Chains A and B, each alone.
Chain A
Amino acid sequence: MAGIGRLSGLRRLGRDVHEARGVPKWILYSGLGIVAFFVILAIFSAQIAPYGFDQIAANGSPFPKQAPPSGAHLFGTTVQSTDVLSRVIWGSRTAIEVVVVAVALSLTVGVPLGLVSGYVGGKLDRGLVLIMDALFAFPYILLAIVIAFLLSSSIGQGIFTAAAAITVVYVPQYFRVVRNHVISVREEAYVEAARALGASRAVIIRRYVLSNVIQNVPVIATLNAADAILTLAALGFLGYGIQPTQAAEWGYDISRAVDDVGAGIWWTGLFPGLAIVLLVTGFTLIGEGLNDVLNPVIRYRRIRRPQIPPLEPEVSPLPAREREVVRR
């Protein structure tokens, strides 16, 4: 419970993860594996993908249009004559970039707001809670569409716009969780003690409150990463996301593929869709695994067998005659 130092919360998290056993451990590690796979795809897209994301020809000969999977194009080609496999790989770069920017932005906005609002209380708290609840009540995809729409007219469409739209939707979540935890923590004995000792508000928040509250954040961050990818794909599907000339994006590819379904062309939609399912599942597994491990209500700890030292003859300080008496 009590712990000081900024990162003690995270250190505790690390220890809990390390101690995890059984099903939660496997869930966590398989999630991490899947996400790591996509991160590698994202970082090394240029090396792994056979072609560029909008490449329509190679060595002078143009790619066939809507060709089924074959040796030259493992996942087939699209109506724009681009290679599906390459677009799926480049798409992971887009997805990871957007997730990183969105989660980073949401954290930098949501967590401090939650901390300050929860600790300081009063009118500021009430006002922020009202605004955040209003944002929370909005169906998230509607909000994301409207924000993406707006931003696209001022700063153009692209990674940042999509990430910003997602951030606006998720800041209330971080705010709410952090604030609630802060409210329960600020009445704890050690915080009162620190106050009595004359520590300033900033120090208390930083040293005592933040370190405790922060252990909730990774779970929400992973679950929000999962939702961020779904929101990005939804925006792309509706046409408010990233344009095909800027980067590959899985949701947009599916929106073009819907037209192909009627013609029996299945490869243009199946592979981007599977990529979304896999990556979102990966993040969710991490979140679920973390939750299993951290949530005191449902976790189990590894049971450490108590170490009972073996019986061994003692060298007693007492003289021989008294030793006889003691042993009886």
Chain B
Amino acid sequence: MSRQGSSLRTYLLTRVALAVPTVLILLTMVFLLMRVAPGNPIQAALGGHVSQKQIAIRSHRAGYDRPILEQYGDYLKGAVTGHLGTTLTDHRTIGNIIVENGSATLELAIAAFAIALAVGIPIGISAGRWRDTPVDIGGRLFGIVIYAAPVFFTGFLAQLLFGTALGWLPTSGRVGPITEFELSKPTHFYLIDSLVTGNWSAFSDVVLHLILPALTLGLLISGVIIRLVRVNMLQTMKGDYVEAARARGIRERRVVIHHAFRNALVPVVTVAGLQFATLLGGAILTEQTFNWPGIGAELVRYLNNRDYIAVQGIVTVFAIAVVVVSVLIDIINAFVDPRVRY
């Protein structure tokens, strides 16, 4: 027992230690990518209005032509201490962007993932249980087609239907302007904030705005989940212990629910982690489509304005978040999944 315990600890330590060079490589990549692109925020803002000489003078004064290594050093130092800087084009701190816009993206991602699981798991299990029947074919086809539809196309259709044609749901923003001003936001997660402060009209406003974007993104991810759950179901249904349960005379339904179902879900934890990166990426497009004030939308805006401090800061946080989540997933798996050897 103790030997197993210490090797678990070694595994965990190794895993966390390995994360560090991964993050370092990511940060270096981000830094190089942004520096290699031509132009800087001053050029973006004042080009076509002020002479190139003036732009050069201001760029120099802002320190954009310092030696690369010096800028790299500053960047790494900032990443480690958590002071990723202030944006160049609108003087916001990266921390502020992460808290305010990051919370919007996270709220959307969590809602979308909940929908993805709620839709994907039942369909995946049914598809795996009744293999090659119309249920299976229908479920698989649904998963394939919904993933094939780009999120901005589904969003476009949703806006056409619910916004223009029916007028039932709002098609942009996170919440109405007055609610935005009046809602107090201790956690920046509006669903929680409105519940905690007992502000019911705000709560309904938030939910109405959340429905279309979360549904659009969630259905997209459900396509992936359906496929994965189905394959896992098929594998577990073939497993020996399931055969053994059947041989003992246990009813098929109980076999499915008790034995196959639970084991098919173990990889869902891994799925959650793997899809985290996809969720963040899909969030960029969803936010553009629905005018959701999240971190993806800000990223695109800063990229267009060549505000490389902002882009660096945001991508750094994205990268670190993805690495942290994957390490957490591995740790959880190490405890939960008996197949992981260490």
Contact = CB atoms under 8 A, between A and B. Distances in A.
Do A and B come into direct contact in the complex, CB within 8 Å? yes
Interface of A: 22-23, 27, 130-131, 133-135, 137-142, 145-147, 149-150, 153, 226, 230, 233-234, 237-238, 251, 254-255, 257-258, 261-262, 264, 266, 269-270, 273, 276-278, 280-281, 284-285, 288, 297-298
Contact of A262 (B145, B164, B238): B164
Contact of B150 (A22, A137, A276, A281): A276
B284 A142 contact: yes
- 8 closest A-B pairs by beta carbon, nearest first, are A280-B148, A273-B153, A139-B281, A141-B281, A134-B25, A23-B132, A281-B148, A139-B280
Contacts of B319: 137-138
Given A238-B300, A261-B156, A139 B277 contact: yes
Where chain A touches its partner, the secondary structure class is helix
B234 to A, nearest CB: 5
A298 B144 contact: no
B84 interface: no
B160 A261 contact: yes
B22 interface: yes
A269 B156 contact: yes
Contact of B156 (A145, A234, A264, A273): A273
B153 A276 contact: yes
Contacts of B156: 254, 257-258, 261, 269, 273
B149 A141 contact: no
Interface residues of B, number: 52
Interface string B146-185: 0111101100110110011000000000000000000000
A22 B284 contact: no
A237 B25 contact: no
B80 interface: no
6 contacts: A138-B318, A142-B299, A238-B300, A258-B152, A261-B160, A262-B164
Given A23-B137, A137-B323, A141-B284, A234 B37 contact: no
Contacts of B145: 277, 281
A237 B319 CA distance: 23
A153 B157 contact: no
Residue of A131, A142, A147, A269 with most chain B CB atoms under a 10 A cut-off: A142
Contacts of A238: 284-285, 288, 300
A266 B34 CA distance: 38
Contacts of A281: 144-145, 148
Interface string B10-40: 0000000010011001100100011011100
A273 B157 contact: yes
B272 interface: no
A146 B231 contact: no
A149 B152 contact: no
A258 B171 CA distance: 12
Contact of B326 (A137, A226, A257): A137
B140 interface: yes
Contacts of A146: 33-34, 303, 315
Contacts of B300: 145, 238
Given A261-B160, A277-B149, 13 more contacts: A130-B18, A138-B322, A139-B277, A139-B278, A142-B281, A147-B33, A149-B303, A230-B148, A238-B284, A238-B288, A254-B153, A261-B159, A269-B153
B324 to A, nearest CB: 10
A149 B22 CA distance: 23
A131 to B, nearest CB: 6
Contacts of A230: 148, 150
Contact of B277 (A130, A138, A150, A153): A138
B6 interface: no
B33 A150 contact: yes
A2 B280 CA distance: 42
B235 interface: yes
A234 B322 CA distance: 21
Contacts of A255: 152
B194 interface: no
Contacts of A261: 156, 159-160, 163-164
Nearest to B27: A134
B322 A139 contact: yes
B289 interface: yes
A150 B150 contact: no
A255 B156 CA distance: 9
Contacts of A237: 150, 152, 285, 288
B300 to A, nearest CB: 6
Contacts of A277: 145, 148-149, 153
Contacts of B280: 139, 142
A134 B29 contact: yes
A284 B281 contact: no
Interface in B268-314: 277-278, 280-282, 284-285, 288-289, 299-300, 303
A266 B37 CA distance: 37
A103 to B, nearest CB: 17
A230 B25 CA distance: 27
Given A153-B37, A297-B238, A134 B26 contact: yes
A261 B161 CA distance: 10
Contact of B149 (A130, A134, A273): A273
A149 B318 contact: no
A34 B84 CA distance: 49
B131 to A, nearest CB: 8
B102 to A, nearest CB: 14
Contacts of A27: 140
A238 to B, nearest CB: 6
Contacts of B326: 137
Nearest to A262: B164
